[in-house]
Chain A
Amino acid sequence: MRNKWLTSGLLVLGISSAVMADPVPLRGLLDDVQQIRSNDTQINRQREARFTAELDQREQLLKESQLRLQAAEAEQTRLKAEFDANDTRLAGLEEALQQRSGQLGEVFGVAREVAAELRPLLQDSMTSAEYPERTGQLAFADSKRVPDLQDLQNLWYQLQLEMTASGEIARIKAPVTAGDGLSEVRDLLRIGTFTAATAEGEFLSWNTSQQLFSVLAKQPPAADQQAFVEYLNGTGSDLLIDPSRGQLLALLERMPGLSERIRQGGEVGYLILALGGIGLLVALWQMLMMTRSELRVRSQLNDPLNLNSGNPLGRVLLALNGTDDSLSQRELRVDEAILRELPAIERGQNIIKLLAAVAPLLGLLGTVVGMIATFQSITLFGTSDPKLMAGGISQALMTTVLGLVVAIPLLFCHSYLSSRSRRISQLLQEKSLGLLAESEIGEEPEALSHAA
């Protein structure tokens, strides 16, 4: 460790002894420094010169800018004066315009107003199918410019055109949108602005938003369509026209059909219809049976000697055969046989009567159920919406209708059947006794008269 320090100390001594030993290099250093100093002075002088030159330049620029500002200000005052002059001139001109146009301003206002009113009117009208470009001619209603002579003439012409077109029956060709969404050009007959239909008798509605004819989803009755075709062919003279410009025809779509009505009746309605169907089947069957037995009774009456067991009268009379009783006993036998025949003749009448009585009651039940539903909807939603209530009530009434519709034919059938069965039983009763007496005529006529 001590050795290291020693050697480094010796080295330092050695170097300093070497500098001290050479004086010439120091002189050179001084010269260098002097030279550098003179160089710096020169450079500084140059910089100073440059700065002063730049300062002069800037001052020159400033002067120029001030001159430009002055020029611009002068220009501004000149322009402002010009603007003011123009303004006053404009006011003068406007005043002149107003003075010169005088009452024409009012005319233009009215023309614009009428054009604005006419445009939706024309769009609503089905004559637009023939003159599709005419609403464009009324565009001046929205613009600020003064309507020119052409515009005024257009307005007048369109009014006149619409008036004439609404009073004529015209055959036209126009695109028609069918129910499947496809549109094609077809032959139409347009009656004023009220009704239009194709040559096949399909009634059309005018679609205002698309400016197109479309086929009504639910057409008027076929007879009206047929009348239209006949009118088109020149064979008919009657025609269905909707005076409300298509609104009434559009309402047809909202009318519920028969099946929809029946569905409105709900479960009670189906029950009533099922009962009515059963009743009608029973009635029809019984009518057939009754007609058959009545025909057989008549044929038996025409042939009284040949007793046949295939009919009620024959059976009643056969009950007497082979017996040898007194007359009063025979009459008892006849009564008994008739009593045996009666249930077959009167079969089904009671059930028909029952069904005829039950159907209106069930209808009433359905109505009451529907009314309960209506009142429940009132407790939930209040009376604010009459549409909600009215729908329920019309459904409720539907079951009453169904009940009556079922009851009326059933009542009719019952009355028909009962009057016929009464006639047959009367025939049986009296004819059997009469035949009995006729076959044994002359035997004991006095006893017969006593028996009655």
Chain B
Amino acid sequence: MLPSLHDWLYALSQFFQTGGWVLYLILLVGVVLFSLILERLGYRFWQYPAAKKALTTELGRTATFSVRRSRVCDLDIALNSQFAMIKCLITLCPLIGLLGTVTGMIQVFDALALYGTGNPRMMAAGVASATFPTMTGMAVAVAGLLFYNRLFRWAEAERSRLRLVLQTGENR
């Protein structure tokens, strides 16, 4: 039997409460990252084919090389946009996770400074909030990286195909 939505939400809120404020930062970065990836996916499957078709028909009409080059450049820029930002966000995720780990460690040592080593419960809260952000950051980064790699390789291939179109004129 699947747990209900409420249970899921409760578990999620518990997770966020244990991990501390850094998890919200990772959540924000993750939301931005995946909305960019979704935008790229949407571009790949809906906008790009139409744009490419329009380009090839237009290139057939205007034969000037520089005009063709300019048109291809527009598409190239559109094809290549967001990838730098996606990559940057992917590298930021583990970094933010590291930040969460260090703040969690500070919590542990604060508890140590106040109560000595006699109270393992106080330390456990800090240890939990030290390990969760790193894990979450890694998970988000790996998931983002999977999409990024596929999309980036496709974009590279499309760019080389565009260059081929540019070189050989309107054929294809």
- B69 touching A387, Cβ below 8 Å: no
Of B91, B110, B114, B116, the contact of A411 (CB 8 Å cutoff): B91
User: B62-93 vs A: 1/0 string, CB under 8 Å?
Assistant: 01111101110100110001001101110110
- A437 touching B66, Cβ below 8 Å: yes
Q: Which B89-113 residues have C-beta < 8 A from chain A? A: 89, 91-92, 95-96, 98-99, 102-103, 105-106, 109-110, 112-113
Q: Let me know if B171 is at the binding interface, CB within 8 A.
A: no
28 A–B pairs (Cβ distance < 8 Å), ordered by A: A254-B114, A256-B110, A386-B116, A387-B113, A389-B112, A390-B109, A390-B112, A390-B113, A394-B106, A401-B106, A404-B102, A405-B99, A408-B95, A408-B96, A408-B99, A412-B89, A412-B92, A419-B81, A419-B84, A422-B84, A426-B73, A430-B73, A433-B66, A437-B67, A441-B67, A445-B65, A448-B64, A452-B65
Which residue in chain A gives the minimum CB-CB distance to B82?
A: A419
Pairs of residues from A and B, 6 with the lowest C-beta to C-beta distance, nearest first = A434-B70, A437-B66, A415-B88, A430-B73, A419-B84, A390-B112
Q: Which A344-397 residues have C-beta < 8 A from chain B? A: 386-387, 389-391, 393-394, 397
Given known contacts A401-B102, A407-B95, A423-B77, A416 and B88 CB-to-CB distance under 8 angstroms: yes
Chain A positions within 8 Å of B73 at CB level: 426-427, 430-431, 434
Q: Let me know if A418 is at the binding interface, CB within 8 A.
A: yes
Which residue in chain B gives the minimum CB-CB distance to A442?
A: B64
Q: Let me know if B117 is at the binding interface, CB within 8 A.
A: yes
Q: Classify chain A: how many residues form its interface, as a range.
A: 35 or more
- B92 touching A397, Cβ below 8 Å: no
Q: Let me know if A438 is at the binding interface, CB within 8 A.
A: yes
Chain B residues near A (Cβ < 8 Å): 63-67, 69-71, 73, 76-77, 81, 84-85, 87-89, 91-92, 95-96, 98-99, 102-103, 105-106, 109-110, 112-114, 116-117
Q: Let me know if A204 is at the binding interface, CB within 8 A.
A: no
User: A424-446 vs B: 1/0 string, CB under 8 Å?
Assistant: 00110011011111100100010
CB distance from A403 to the nearest CB of B (A): 9
- B65 touching A419, Cβ below 8 Å: no
CB distance from A189 to the nearest CB of B (A): 25
Complex Cα–Cα for A401 and B69 (A): 48
Complex Cα–Cα for A256 and B113 (A): 12
What number of A-B contacts does a CB cutoff of 8 Å give?
108
CB distance from A50 to the nearest CB of B (A): 96
Chain B positions within 8 Å of A418 at CB level: 84
Chain B positions within 8 Å of A407 at CB level: 95
Q: Let me know if A123 is at the binding interface, CB within 8 A.
A: no
- A433 touching B84, Cβ below 8 Å: no
Given known contacts A430-B73, A433-B70, A448 and B95 CB-to-CB distance under 8 angstroms: no
- B88 touching A426, Cβ below 8 Å: no
Q: Let me know if A115 is at the binding interface, CB within 8 A.
A: no
Chain B positions within 8 Å of A422 at CB level: 84
Complex Cα–Cα for A415 and B109 (A): 35
Chain A positions within 8 Å of B66 at CB level: 433-434, 436-438, 448, 452
Chain A positions within 8 Å of B99 at CB level: 401, 404-405, 408
Q: Let me know if A195 is at the binding interface, CB within 8 A.
A: no
Chain A positions within 8 Å of B98 at CB level: 404
Given known contacts A404-B99, A412-B88, A391 and B113 CB-to-CB distance under 8 angstroms: yes
Of B65, B91, B95, the contact of A437 (CB 8 Å cutoff): B65
Complex Cα–Cα for A415 and B87 (A): 9
Chain A positions within 8 Å of B77 at CB level: 423, 426-427
CB distance from B46 to the nearest CB of A (A): 22
Which residue in chain A gives the minimum CB-CB distance to B99?
A: A404
Q: Let me know if A400 is at the binding interface, CB within 8 A.
A: yes
Which residue in chain B gives the minimum CB-CB distance to A254?
A: B114
Name which of A393, A397, A412 has the most chain B CB atoms within 10 A of its CB: A397
Q: Let me know if A449 is at the binding interface, CB within 8 A.
A: yes
Complex Cα–Cα for A256 and B109 (A): 13
CB distance from A317 to the nearest CB of B (A): 13
Chain B positions within 8 Å of A438 at CB level: 64, 66-67, 70
